[in-house]
Amino acid sequence: MIIVLKPKCTHDQLQKFSSDLEERFPVKVNAWFGTQSTVLGLIGDTSAVDIDYVAAQDIVESVKRVQEPYKKANRKFHPDNTVITLPGGQKIGDGGITLIAGPCSVESEAQICEVAGRVKQAGAQVLRGGAFKPRTSPYAFQGLKAEGLELLREARKKTGLPIVTEIMSADHLPLFKDVDIIQVGARNMQNFELLKELGKTDKPILLKRGLSSTIEELLMSAEYIMAGGNEKVILCERGIRTYETFTRNTLDISAVPILKKLSHLPVIVDPSHASGISWLVEPLAMAAVAAGADGLIIEVHNDPARALSDGAQSLTPDQFDQVAKRVFQIGKAFGRKVD
Ligand code: PEP
Ligand code: MN
């Protein structure tokens, strides 16, 4: 719900009105100050707000229900693209193409360091690697956990690449203190308590779309993090469940321009989990960049046949090198910032 205040409205009146709304309704009020007028945005359950009550207030010029239930993630209130700057100076969402690459799971020091070095050479700006793994089977490899995080730090030290890794529980947050980007996996996209805790941190959050979540639900999850005060959210389309069985998931390529239109947040695509098949990664990666994605997250393993998770969709470093070249060519052809 959007409320436009009359130009004569004083600061005291605004304060009083905001607290009144927050007391009466389950909403949080945010104010944007323009040169002509002040606009209030209500976050929360606006369906419970009595629009006639709002319209009847002296200082209200107009009130409108807006369709989207998300505000902070909404491009309407933030027309400029959000650009996220990582500690090493790498930028996500600035018109360039950010390549995030690395193994599904961190398995050993030799593995993560070798892959990190190779993906960096190929043009990757961020290293991925799972330490806490959400596996369908409790008997499958669950990740090296704290040791995996330590190995990621080691690989970062050797290569200078910032690291992104998945968190599965807010209880683990102390372990993620010096992780550069915290990933929320598809299975946790609607773990609202986790999202709220991440909203209290100042880390960039890579938020993956849930397996069966709508675009609006993804944006509402981003809203949870942002409503807590952390506006550094990167959205990730990683394929959704459909009736198709050839691929592991179906890449919803239309989600890319739709998310870019609805939100100012950077959008990246994960062609590895979207397809589940290594030879499909290249065409899907190229399609994603052509559709306007700000970056890609791609699984790379030094020995995919022996990977402890997701080997079938993992590229070798040589294959990644080729994909990176093709992706940068596509980017150049579309006038993107590519060095
Ligand atoms: C992953 O990135 O390894 C992963 C588990 O991804 P998703 O949450 O998209 O399945
Ligand atoms: Mn994986």
The enclosing domain of 129 has a CATH number of 3.20.20.70
Shared domain for 57 and 176, answered yes or no, is no
Shared domain for 242 and 100, answered yes or no, is yes
Number of domains in the chain: 2
Q: Estimate to the nearest angstrom the gap between the alpha carbon of 34 and the chain centroid.
A: 29
Atom of ligand 1 nearest to the CA of 128: 2
Give a yes or no: residue 69 inside a domain.
no
Cα 26 to middle of ligand 2, angstroms: 38
Cα 35 to middle of ligand 1, angstroms: 45
**Residue 57 is part of a domain; what is its CATH number?**
3.30.70.1140
**If you write DSSP's letter for every residue of 171-208 in order, what string do you get?**
GGGGGGTT-SEEEE-GGGTT-HHHHHHHHTS-S-EEEE
Pocket test for ligand 1, best of 166, 168, 188, 300 (most atoms within 8 A of CB): 166
**How does pLDDT run along the chain (339 residues), one tens digit per residue?**
999 999 989 999 999 999 999 999 999 999 999 888 899 999 887 866 888 899 999 999 999 987 677 889 999 989 999 999 999 999 999 999 999 999 999 999 999 999 999 999 999 999 999 999 999 999 999 999 999 999 999 999 999 999 999 999 999 999 999 999 999 999 999 999 999 999 999 999 999 999 999 999 999 999 999 999 999 999 999 999 999 999 999 999 999 999 999 999 999 999 999 999 999 999 999 999 999 999 999 999 999 999 999 999 999 999 999 999 999 999 999 999 998
Query: Atom 9, ligand 1: which residue's CA is nearest?
Result: 186
Of 283, 273, 285, 278, residue with least CA distance to 248: 273
Predicted pLDDT at 66: 73
Give a yes or no: residue 214 inside a domain.
yes
Cα 273 to middle of ligand 2, angstroms: 6
Shared domain for 208 and 269, answered yes or no, is yes
- The residues, ordered by sequence, that sit 6+ positions from 245 with a Cβ below 8 Å of its Cβ are none
Q: Estimate to the nearest angstrom the gap between the alpha carbon of 119 and the chain centroid.
A: 21
Predicted pLDDT at 304: 98
Atom of ligand 1 nearest to the CA of 238: 9
Give a yes or no: residue 307 inside a domain.
yes
Give a yes or no: residue 191 inside a domain.
yes
Shared domain for 306 and 217, answered yes or no, is yes
Nearest ligand, CA 271: 1
Q: How far apart are CA 151 and CA 334, in angstroms?
A: 37
Shared domain for 93 and 131, answered yes or no, is yes
Burial 326-339 (b: 16+ CB within 10 A, else e): ebbebbeeeebebe
Q: How far apart are CA 322 and CA 148, in angstroms?
A: 28
Q: How far apart are CA 269 and CA 289, in angstroms?
A: 9
Predicted pLDDT at 47: 65
Shared domain for 40 and 167, answered yes or no, is no
Shared domain for 114 and 246, answered yes or no, is yes
Shared domain for 49 and 188, answered yes or no, is no
Q: How far apart are CA 187 and CA 210, in angstroms?
A: 6
Q: Which structural domain, as residue segments, surrounds residue 310?
A: 84-333
Cα 241 to middle of ligand 1, angstroms: 14
Query: Atom 3, ligand 1: which residue's CA is nearest?
Result: 104
Token code pair at residue 69: 């239930």
Predicted pLDDT at 51: 85
Predicted pLDDT at 36: 82
Cα 327 to middle of ligand 2, angstroms: 21
Shared domain for 183 and 265, answered yes or no, is yes
The packing angle between helices 109-122 and 317-333, to 10°, is: 30
Q: Which residues pair with 29 in a beta bridge?
A: 42
Token code pair at residue 282: 């290249």
Predicted pLDDT at 67: 65
Shared domain for 48 and 105, answered yes or no, is no
The packing angle between helices 278-290 and 317-333, to 10°, is: 20
Give a yes or no: residue 188 inside a domain.
yes
Give a yes or no: residue 22 inside a domain.
yes
Shared domain for 142 and 189, answered yes or no, is yes
Predicted pLDDT at 44: 82
Q: How far apart are CA 337 and CA 171, in angstroms?
A: 39
At which of 30, 64, 98 does a domain end? Answer: 64
Give a yes or no: residue 213 inside a domain.
yes
The pTM (predicted TM-score) of the whole model is 0.85
Shared domain for 159 and 25, answered yes or no, is no
**If you write DSSP's letter for every residue of 11-54 in order, what string do you get?**
HHHHHHHHHHHHHHSSEEEEEEE-SS-EEEEEEE-GGGS-HHHH
Give a yes or no: residue 209 inside a domain.
yes
Q: Which residues line ligand 1 (CB under 6 A)?
A: 104, 130, 134, 185-187, 208, 238, 270, 273
Predicted pLDDT at 339: 80
